Amino acid sequence: MTDRRSTNFFARQEQARSNCRNLVVVFIVAVLAIITTIYFAFRLICYIHLTTNVFTVSEPIANYTQHNSFAWWDAAIFIMVFIGVTLFILAASVIKMRQLQKGGGAVAKMLGGRCVSKSANIPAEQQLLNVVEEMAIAAGIPVPEVYILEKEAGINAFAAGLTINDAAVAVTQGALEKLTRDELQGVVAHEFSHILHGDMRLNIQLMGIIYGVLIIGIIGGEILDNHRISSKSIVLFIAGLLLTIIGYIGTFTGRLIQSAVSRQKEFLADASAVKFTRNPLGLASALKKIGGYIYGSQITSPTARQASHLFFGKSCKDYLFADFLATHPPLTERILLLDPSFDGIFPQVGSGNKTFSPTHDNGELITDMSKPRPLSSGLMPVTAKAADIVDRVCSPNLGNLSRASDILSSIPQQLKDLLNTPAGSAAAIYALLTGSTCAERKLPLKAVDPSLAALGSTEDFLSLCKLAADLKDEQKLPLVELALPSLRNLTVMERKNFLEIVDLLIHADGKITLFEFSLQWIVRQYLSNNEKILEKTVYFHISQVGYHILIILRALATAGNMGNTDAARRAFNAGAARIPELACKTPDYYYTEDINFTEVNTALKKLDSSSFKIKQLIVDACAHCAFSDKTVTVTEAELLRVISLALHCPLPPLNQINQ
């Protein structure tokens, strides 16, 4: 498949900023058009009211003079309309966006979605969960929540959320029933592109803006529905009719904004999905099924029009200017980019339900839904280079998917079964933090956290600790990520208790390891208040954050070269050399065995408020720091990954690293 545009993460962020600027311009034009139309509609109502009430038999001449002197332009009235309508539209948009800031799950529920439980014994749903988990681990991000739109027969899907920490992936019942695993994997990979490249945040903002420009028409419709035509309510009826007509300005503008933003992103997401799975025919086959299916990709939810730009396929019909206002490119055009041999004929897809048969496209039966699909023997992972890391940000490939499959398959099933419930997930985290030292510490965990009572006896928890202690380093963080969706179901008080216990276990021995810091940072970020507004970009020059970049480089150099001062210094210098503003000051490196993770945490928070141009330099510098000795240890890879996550520039796990 030929990429029409760059799929580089940082290039797409620049495109997103450009889209946001264009979006603001179109929104302002739409609001001005609505204000102007409402003003003249109001003056028309005044004119009609005047002409229908002032004429009497006794005073025809005076009233005729009053009628002819009616002024259509009144600056004072226009200013009042301008202020009132602007505040009203902005208030409607802000209120809607506040509702959507609860995360992707809130959007999925708004569209009729049901959260998929990890404990559900439904093969099709378990297959979907397995695909999502596998891709999340491969992409290096927390596992998103998974939803099914049970009432939707069309083949469709979407991803929603403000950040990777509150993301959700939803598929329709039709997609679950009609798509094979390879097709489903292609669709989910497409949605993961939207998650990884920040499209979701723009899409959520777009939903709020569209609601603001639609609200006028919604009010007009309500007036028409609740008032009959009569001599007493003629003015009110005309007002409702005019507001409804004016509302079409908002509808047209909203669709125009959706189509302008969405069509470009769909091509990019298709390209990213192919890069991820190396299976263009799986995605192409899913699109062909949409074309040959009686329900296509249609969504019946009444709120679907507000969210039409979120979906994998076209969710709503347009009867006027259908091509001009389309939120998605034509199916044939998308398919031809994936499968040049496509003849334009869509295969017929039956509308009846089918008995689920978990097979790959090659016909091989999957007998254990907990196991990822087998990989082609001809595909081998490729060792990364420092110069390639920037381009690999938010750009996982088949090697990452292969590694994720191996890691997920190697985690003991007993541990994975625990993750079906919030209490079990909490227990798994506690076990990871205590490991082999659980018996020696004799920590009264049940007294600290009553939820552990669900595990049974203390011996059961000691057995769990042993399983956790036997895990390899590369298995631990993926296990944490698998536990995150269940942990989100903790109540506010349970979350607080959980985080306090995590902090207690980490500080029990008086020191913090890199894994403990990574685990604590991930769970705190994931379980933080979803309604918190994202940090704004406030740093645009290296001089504003140079000190904090050096803190991160020192920590990374030390973590990867414990006990070797010279190697650590070379690593630090290799990273600093990638940023001329820092290199010219010849920063000094001092070696210490203990990394100050409190200082690292503070630095990461500040660097997250930097521009993406600075973040790109930081990721590149960290990569050259880690690769300075031509190898990357598990410790270096782990810290490099946390740094990238903190900057909201997720880095897929490295395919080959030194143990």
Please list the active-site residues: 191
Q: Let me know: does 591 contact 566? Beta carbons within 8 Å.
A: no
Sign of the CA dihedral 434, 435, 440, 444?
A: positive
- Which H/E stretch holds residue 148? strand 145-149
Exposed/middle/buried for residue 61 (C-beta within 10 Å: 0-12, 13-18, 19+) = exposed
Residue type, 136: A
Please choose, from the candidates 641, 646, 124, the residue with its C-alpha nearest in 3D space to the C-alpha of residue 396: 641
Long-range contacts of 568-573 (CB under 8 A, 24+ apart): 570/628, 570/629, 571/625, 571/626, 571/628, 571/629, 572/625
Residue type, 514: L
* Cβ atoms within 10 Å, residue 572: 26
Q: Let me know: does 168 contact 103? Beta carbons within 8 Å.
A: yes
CA-CA distance, 622 to 619, in Å (whole number)?
5
Sheet holding 113-115, edge to edge: 113-115, 145-149, 168-172, 157-160
Q: Which SS3 state, helix, strand or coil, does residue 349 take?
A: strand
Q: Let me know: does 283 contact 270? Beta carbons within 8 Å.
A: yes
Tokens 């954050």 belong to 545
In eight-state DSSP terms, residue 347 is P
Residue type, 470: D
**CA distances for 142 relative to 166, 186, 376, 403, 641, angstroms:** 9, 19, 26, 16, 12
> What tokens were used for 136?
């999340």
Exposed/middle/buried for residue 151 (C-beta within 10 Å: 0-12, 13-18, 19+) = middle
Q: Which SS3 state, helix, strand or coil, does residue 158 take?
A: strand
147 beta partners: 115, 170
Q: How far is the first Cα of the chain from the last one, in angstroms, to the nearest whole number?
A: 36
Q: Let me know: does 155 contact 178? Beta carbons within 8 Å.
A: yes
CA-CA distance, 115 to 104, in Å (whole number)?
11
Residue type, 527: L
> What tokens were used for 395?
């750009």
Please choose, from the candidates 268, 218, 222, the residue with its C-alpha nearest in 3D space to the C-alpha of residue 248: 218
- State how beta strands 168-172 and 145-149 pair: parallel
CA-CA distance, 621 to 576, in Å (whole number)?
6
- Which H/E stretch holds residue 114? strand 113-115
CA-CA distance, 437 to 209, in Å (whole number)?
53
CA-CA distance, 269 to 286, in Å (whole number)?
14
